[in-house]
Structure 1
């Protein structure tokens, strides 16, 4: 064990104290955060408009500050982007993160001098917590690869602007700089395929021990690495590779294929970083869920998903949540987002400590017939049956087919790229349909009542989703294929790839 590994174990013990404070005092920490945020922002334009100085309780806050999504909050954000100070948070943001929007096109999310360190601290603590729990620290003595966006920043209203992963690249601690890959020059390559090829060339002979990135793009890296290495498994190319860190999507649909590429079942750390803040990380290799970070300059609210589109939905603080119930996550942050609907849905799997799983996106659902099927349900149905049947799933997405041909009933249309396909796709589809009925009673009722016919699977050609994302200009980086949609936009774009 090298010096860095030894020192990291000592540092991890100190960090564990902070993590334990979050585990044991989350509600109190949230109450403190609430008070601090309001005090700091009361003299901003937003604070004045919403009478922050008069707010004494969370009930007051809910009356004064409505829930808004990006489009609804955009009049304030536009002023920030144009360079105006003291709009939503004191001063100007240190950065603007650029993300893909919906009706608004590109979205700009502020990062303040107070919020930026929390992103870095959370990522660091996720690794150190793993070291403290497992005693495994050897990975810090070798190379670490981070598959991320370009660190090249532009300027908007005098504020440095870029993708979150590119911004974070400028804040990697000095003690990790010599270990991290790819090089700055390679990281700056904008074309994803060219970038992956350059990363393969630069890293294939290195002592890679930790790899971090979104699963589908990491799998693309593994595939190309194996191809130039004569078909070797990743464990034979990187014999000391021991830890995979990911976030942004559910790993389970990718796990079997990725572990097949690696050659063994690797340790993983799931993280929940967003442009709005680093929300949670996996704090145990033994327990389910991600530890909600209650002391990171963010005050969370939770809206039951079945009330989200109501005019006055129920808004809950952390102290009021229930287990195993889906909530839309609402953020109030030390970068100046207030009553902000991040678009994600979460579910608490523990309240001692407070742990969540990300269950989907509030706008990524299917309810063309009143079924309100969410991402968690389709993933569970597909992956449960696939595991039982020994079927390998590369990627998939689901959409409603309302106007079926002839006298057919409407149905859910599943577009799946298989690694290992079922011999009988119709039989496989029926099993997945039964699994989905078991997860969603409304879907069961629609099938049982002959309103819908069972789902239909479209078998897609190899590399369909890579080619589709390329055609949309969204290959690589933080881009993800939505697992389900209530419209046909993606589904219609995939028709040409059906076997």
Structure 2
């Protein structure tokens, strides 16, 4: 065992001990975060506008500070972007993480000197908890790669801005610099396809032990390696045994990954966003990710089926239940207050608090009142791939409201890597699985409001071509699993020859 491996194990046990301490007292931990956030921001423009100095409880906070999304908070954020100080958080932010919003155009999410370390420590602690839980440390001596956005930064009113993954690339600790790939030059390549080819050239001769990124884009990297070398990824990288991912559910990709690699590898799921690093998988044998309650973020939760009510009840961590779909609301040490992240979550454990990302509050199919969410379609697909032994590259679901004949239905657009023997059997299985999970959908099928779902098979690389056509190929971009309209699938239809 190398010195680096020994040091990693000692540090991992220390971090695990710290984690256990705050996880054992979740309500107290969150209350401390809540009070500290209010204290630090009481003299900001937002704090004065919302009377932070007079807030003594969460009830006071909920009365004074309404839930807002980015568009609602934009008047304050615009002033920060223009260079004003102490608007949402004391002083100026260190960076803006620039993201592409669907309704607001470009979004500028502030990253402060207080919030930036929580992003870095979140990724670090995820790996250290893995070491503590498994005892595995050999990977620390190999090469590690994260398929990410360009680290090139620009400046806006004296504040640097870029993609979050590109900003984080500047904070890789010194003890990992020699292990890190790709090179800065390769990482700065803007064209995603050119970048993947350059990454392959750099990584093929190396001892790769950790590979991380959004599954769909890592899959593209693996496929190109196989095409180039004619070997499974696991043969080329015999010591590759840890895959780290976030952003989407891995299960629909798992079978394809194991085929491309040639064996199973351990994985760690992360829940990062520009707005904060919220959770990570802390145990290999437990479902869900540990919610980071001590990381400068105060959490609220609103039941998803009540979210669009006039005055939905806002819950704190001590009030949530397992297996309920919640919209997650955050207040952070980057100056986001009662901010609707847009993600929906479900708790899989309350001791400690572990959760899964169940979807997006705006990404659902409910053209007929069924409110089908991403977790349900992904669970159905996961069950189906195991039963029928097929592989999926990508898929999305949209309603067909006005078919040429017969009843309306859900249409599943699927890009297969390996097709099942019968699409008809598959569609029936998926439909029954969806009915079992969603009583509203079942009632619509039984009541003959909808007919069972239909599968449309699309050509290989259709989803990549679609993402390329809208300028979102690669990086941290991902396909929505569900939509309430047919914009995406109409574009996919046009790509079919």
Interval containing the TM-score (normalised by the shorter chain):
over 0.9
1:495 to 487, 490, 493: 493
Residue in 2 that maps onto 1:69: 69
* Equivalent-residue separation in structure 2 for 1:57 and 1:452 (angstroms): 47
Q: Does 1:317 align with 2:316?
A: yes
Deviation at 1:491, TM superposition (A): 1.2
Q: CA deviation at 1:80?
A: 0.8
1:117-156 mapped onto 2 (5 Å cutoff): 117-156=117-156
SS at match of 2:279: strand
Contact 1:458–1:498 (Cα < 8 Å) also in 2:
no
Q: How does 1:152-163 map to 2 (within 5 A)?
A: 152-163=152-163
Matches within 5 A, 1:427-442: 427-442=425-440
Q: Find the counterpart in structure 1 of residue 302 from structure 2.
A: 303
Cα deviations across residues 313-362 of structure 1 (Å, max 9, x unaligned)? 11000011011101000010000000100000000111100110110000
Secondary structure of the residue that 1:210 maps to in structure 2?
Answer: strand
Q: Does the Cα contact within 8 Å between 1:22 and 1:293 map onto a contact in 2?
A: no
Pairwise CA distance, 1:498: 4.5
Equivalent-residue separation in structure 2 for 1:195 and 1:385 (angstroms): 34
* CA distances 1:243-302 after superposition (whole Å, capped 9, x unpaired): 000001100010010111111110000011111110000000111110000000000000
Number of the residue aligned with 1:50: 50
Work out the CA distance in 2 between the residues paired with 1:442 and 1:269.
34
- What's the secondary structure of 1:494's corresponding residue? helix
**Paired residues for 1:388-403 under 5 Å:** 388-403=387-402
Q: Which consecutive segments of 4 or more residues in structure 1 shift more than 3 A?
A: none
Match of 1:170 in 2: 170
Q: Distance in 2 between matches of 1:105 and 1:488?
A: 21
1:273 matched residue in structure 2 = 272
2:408 counterpart of 1:449: no
2:415 is aligned to 417
| 2:11 aligned residue | 11
Partner SS, residue 200 of structure 2 = helix
Note the alpha carbon deviations across 1:8-65, whole angstroms, 9 max, x for none: 1111111111111232112111000000000100010000000101100000000000
Aligned-pair CA distance for 1:205: 0.5
Aligned positions of 1:252-401 closer than 5 A: 252-401=251-400
- Partner of 1:365: helix, strand, or coil? coil
| Ranges in structure 1 where 5+ consecutive residues have no aligned partner | none
Q: How many residues align?
A: 497
Distance 1:157 1:276 in 2: 21
Deviation sequence 1:411-459 (CA, Å, 0-9, x none): 1111000111122212211111111111100000001001011111100
Q: What do residues 83-105 of structure 1 show as CA deviations (whole Å, max 9, x unaligned)?
A: 11100000011010011202111
Deviation at 1:382, TM superposition (A): 1.8
Bigger shift: residues 254-263 or 13-22: 13-22
The answer to whether the Cα contact below 8 Å between 1:459 and 1:498 also exists between their aligned partners in 2 is no
Aligned partner of residue 366 in structure 1, secondary structure: coil
Three-state SS of the structure 2 residue aligned to 1:447 is: helix
State how 1:196-215 maps to structure 2 within 5 Å. 196-215=196-215
For the 8 Å contact 1:396–1:415, the answer to whether it is kept is yes
Q: What is the rounded CA distance, in whole Å, between the counterparts of 1:440 and 1:271 in structure 2?
A: 27
Find the residue that maps to 2:25 and give its secondary structure.
helix
TM-score, with length taken from structure 1: 0.99
Do the aligned partners of 1:403 and 1:410 also contact (CA within 8 Å) in 2? Answer: yes
Distance 1:465 1:102 in 2: 18
Residue 90 of structure 2 aligns to a residue whose secondary structure is coil
Which of 422, 431, 456 aligns to 1:458? It is 456
What SS does the aligned partner of 1:487 have? coil
The 1-side partners of 2:496 and 2:427 are apart by 16
Question: What is the CA-CA distance between 1:390 and the residue it aligns to?
Answer: 0.6
Residue deviations 1:175-208, cap 9 Å, x none? 0011000000000000000000000001100010
The alignment yields a C-alpha RMSD, in angstroms, of 0.9
- TM-score, structure 2 length as denominator? 0.99
SS in 1 for 2:24: helix
CA distance in 2, matches of 1:149, 1:423: 39
**Distance in 2 (alpha carbons) for counterparts of 1:22 and 1:176:** 27
Q: Is the 8 A contact 1:8 1:128 kept in 2?
A: yes
Contact kept in structure 2, 1:150 and 1:163, CA below 8 Å: yes
